């Protein structure tokens, strides 16, 4: 049932990004896809490497605290320093903050490269991308306009 004062008309417009002869977005998308895939693979390998390093440093600290040797503790401290951590000589194991600090950065980088992969896929498929936009238009009846003009 129509309202007393106005009628709402809906229009749907389709916008096509790119076209049959537009190849530049597709080319850029292909380059972004390849680069993002390579960086994704790199971040996955860094994630596993940081996990192995964290386990190694934790085991090293446990063995050094059992042997009570300063040289062993300094060796573990140097290994942790090269991995990007500062370990005190009195530490017997990695803290949760240190462990997560080593692990979370490569995981965040992996997720970032997944987002870039999706963006590259959007660019690559831009010739087929159609965006529907709905427009609502209100048509006011003539007699309502005449009343309001008075």
Mean pLDDT over 135-145 rounds to 61
Residue 1 has pLDDT above 50, yes or no: no
Neighbour count for residue 69 (Cβ, 10 Å): 12
Do the Cβ atoms of 51 and 59 come closer than 8 Å?
A: no
**Model pTM score:** 0.64
Cα separations (Å) of 94 from 31, 52, 60? Answer: 41, 13, 10
The phi, psi pair for 49, rounded to 5°, reads -65, -40
In this predicted structure, the answer to whether residue 80 has a pLDDT above a threshold of 60 is yes
Higher pLDDT, 58 or 142: 58
The whole-number pLDDT of residue 117 equals: 96
Q: Span 102-117, mean pLDDT?
A: 94
Q: Give the containing element (helix H, strand E) for 32.
A: helix 24-67
What would the pLDDT profile of 15-48 be if each residue is shown by its tens digit? Answer: 665 666 667 778 888 999 999 999 999 999 999 9
Position 56 pLDDT exceeds 60: yes
CA 73 from centroid of its chain's CA atoms: 38
Nearest to 39 by CA among 47, 97, 8: 47
Q: Where are the domains of the chain?
A: 22-129
**pLDDT exceeds cutoff 70 at 150:** no
Residue 150 tokens read as 């008075």
Q: Which of these ranges, 19-23, 43-47, 133-137, 141-145, has the smallest mean pLDDT?
A: 141-145
């Amino acid at each position: 049932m129509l309202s007393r004062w106005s009628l709402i008309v809906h229009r749907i417009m389709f916008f096509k990004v790119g076209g049959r002869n537009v190849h530049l977005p597709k080319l850029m998308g292909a380059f972004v896809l390849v680069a993002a895939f390579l960086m994704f693979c790199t971040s996955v390998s860094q994630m596993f490497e940081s996990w192995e390093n964290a386990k190694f440093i934790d085991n090293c600290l446990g063995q050094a605290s059992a042997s009570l040797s300063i040289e062993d503790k300094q060796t573990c401290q140097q290994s942790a320093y090269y991995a990007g951590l500062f370990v005190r000589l009195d530490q017997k194991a990695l803290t949760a903050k240190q462990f997560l600090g080593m692990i979370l950065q490569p995981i965040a980088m992996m997720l970032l490269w997944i987002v870039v992969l999706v963006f590259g896929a959007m660019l690559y498929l831009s010739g087929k991308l159609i965006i529907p936009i709905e427009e609502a238009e209100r048509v006011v009846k003539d007699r309502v306009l005449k009343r309001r003009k008075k």
